[in-house]
Amino acid sequence: MQEQQAELEEKQEQAAAQGATYNPATGLAIKPSDVSCIDLIDHMLRQYLDLKDHEFTAVTLWALHTHIFERFEHTPRLALMSPVADCGKSTVMAILSKLVARPELRSNTTAAAIYWLLDQGTRTLLLDEMDNADLLNNSVLRSVLNSGYQRSGSTIGRFIGGRSKQFSTFAPMALAAINTYKPLPWPILSRSLIVDMQRSKKPLRRYDSKDTEDLDIVRDQIWLWARSDPKLNHNPEMPAGLRVGRPQNNWRALRTRGQCRPKKNTPPRGMVSAPSCAEGRVRRFSARLGFWPFFGANCASRLSARCRDNAYG
């Protein structure tokens, strides 16, 4: 143990001499980038995905949130929904598995698997194929997913070997599902940031698990930012009209001042949501989340601009 500690300290000193920070998880010395984490993540997402601007904002901020979620009372779910298969949900999950904190990617799952996994340590759960989980009828799994949204009350009690044991379920979760025939229940949607995915005709980059060097670089920058103990405002000003309750709780943890402040003279890329947020399908989901006052040509710009200003200004 002493030899390992001495070796670690030596590597840390060598990295510091180069103006870098040693990451024991990867064995690399990480130098801070002149580009902000939010710009790096947004750039990578746009190479692989065809989303609306406000959805890129939601996915980007949620990925950052997973690295500091323990400092908040709520951790919103990220719901990736599509009307049919082959809309890119699994691609989003694969990319997030490279960017979020301590990722655990599962295709379908059970309640027991979740609370036993979280009992081993905090994780970011990336739950794919959730349209096959029958959540409308699976009350046990549904209660586990719902309970982990809020720190207080996020425990599940079980009797193991004749003794009572409490399992914590407080953890970030992303869920992907075809939301046509077996939709995600409303209690889960009300706790979620909803990304409405469609099939794309754009020439996008294909995700290859053997070619993720650029995503690894972004992940290292996120790690560097998260370990810097960024100053957070746990009660930022919320956009006028955003309903009190879960709509505000969902965005509060993502709109915290200082969450990923860009470098001086480095403007955020693509962080203003498009007016197409007001289109019918997005309007339906926005209404469910309480964004109804933002309907109209400037709805997305008003919400995302305030989100950006309060988070990074």
**Crossing angle for the helix pair 213-226 and 89-99, nearest 10 degrees?**
50
If one counts every other C-beta atom within 10 angstroms of the C-beta of residue 222, the result is 21
The residue with greater pLDDT, 82 or 16, is 82
Residue 2 has pLDDT above 50, yes or no: yes
Say what the pLDDT of residue 265 is.
38
Residue 276 domain-assigned (yes or no): yes
Residues 137 and 76 in one domain: yes
Residues 110 and 201 in one domain: yes
* CA proximity to 48, closest of 204, 220, 233, 281: 204
Say what the pLDDT of residue 101 is.
92
- Is residue 231 classed as helix, strand or coil in its secondary structure? coil
Residue 28 domain-assigned (yes or no): no
Residue 161 has pLDDT above 70, yes or no: yes
Q: How many CA atoms lie within 13 A of 98 on its CB side?
A: 20
- Kindly report which listed range (137-151, 204-218, 286-300) carries the lowest average pLDDT score: 286-300
Say what the pLDDT of residue 152 is.
81
Residues 252 and 167 in one domain: no
Helices and strands counted in the chain (H then E): 11, 9
Residues 69 and 184 in one domain: yes
Residue 3 domain-assigned (yes or no): no
Query: What is the rounded average pLDDT of the residues 220-241?
Result: 80
Q: What is the 3-state secondary structure (H, E, C) of 241-262?
A: CCCCCHHHHHHHCCCCCCCCCC
Residue 4 domain-assigned (yes or no): no
Q: What is the 3-state secondary structure (H, E, C) of 50-72?
A: CCCHHHHHHHHHHHHHCCCHHHC
CATH number at residue 120: 3.40.50.300
Say what the pLDDT of residue 288 is.
38
Q: Could you give the CA distance from residue 203 to residue 89 in angstroms, rounded to a whole number?
A: 17
Yes or no: say if 39 and 266 are a contact pair by the CB < 8 Å rule. Answer: yes
Q: Could you give the CA distance from residue 109 to residue 263 in angstroms, rounded to a whole number?
A: 40
Residues 161 and 258 in one domain: no
Stated as kind and residue range, the H or E segment containing 34 is none
Provide the pairing of β-strand 163-168 with 155-160. antiparallel
- Kindly report which listed range (60-64, 207-211, 276-280, 309-313) carries the lowest average pLDDT score: 276-280
Residues 117 and 243 in one domain: no
Say what the pLDDT of residue 241 is.
66
Residue 288 belongs to domain spanning: 232-312
Contacts for 23 with CB less than 8 Å, ≥ 6 apart: 29, 30, 220, 223, 224
pLDDT digit string, tens, across residues 105-137: 998 788 888 888 888 888 999 999 898 888 888
Residue 23 domain-assigned (yes or no): no
The residue with greater pLDDT, 208 or 160, is 208
Yes or no: say if 150 and 250 are a contact pair by the CB < 8 Å rule. Answer: no
Task: Tell me what the pLDDT averaged over the chain comes to.
Answer: 77
Residue 158 domain-assigned (yes or no): yes
Residues 154 and 290 in one domain: no
Say what the pLDDT of residue 248 is.
80
What are the helix (H) ranges across the chain?
Answer: 2-17, 37-48, 53-65, 89-99, 111-119, 139-147, 186-189, 213-226, 246-252, 280-288, 299-312
Query: What is the rounded average pLDDT of the residues 256-280?
Result: 35
Residues 208 and 95 in one domain: yes
Residues 59 and 153 in one domain: yes
Stated as kind and residue range, the H or E segment containing 195 is strand 192-196
Residues 172 and 247 in one domain: no
Place of tokens 């949900």: 89
Name the domain boundary from 161, 186, 213. 213
Q: Could you give the CA distance from residue 227 to residue 167 in angstroms, rounded to a whole number?
A: 27
Residue 278 domain-assigned (yes or no): yes
Provide the pairing of β-strand 192-196 with 77-82. parallel
Residue 195 domain-assigned (yes or no): yes
The residue with greater pLDDT, 29 or 204, is 204
Domains in the chain, number:
2
Residue 183 has pLDDT above 80, yes or no: no
Residue 21 has pLDDT above 50, yes or no: yes
Whole-model pTM?
A: 0.79
pLDDT digit string, tens, across residues 89-104: 999 999 999 999 999 9
Residues 44 and 193 in one domain: yes
Name the domain boundary from 147, 182, 213. 213
Query: What is the rounded average pLDDT of the residues 46-74?
Result: 92
Residues 46 and 128 in one domain: yes
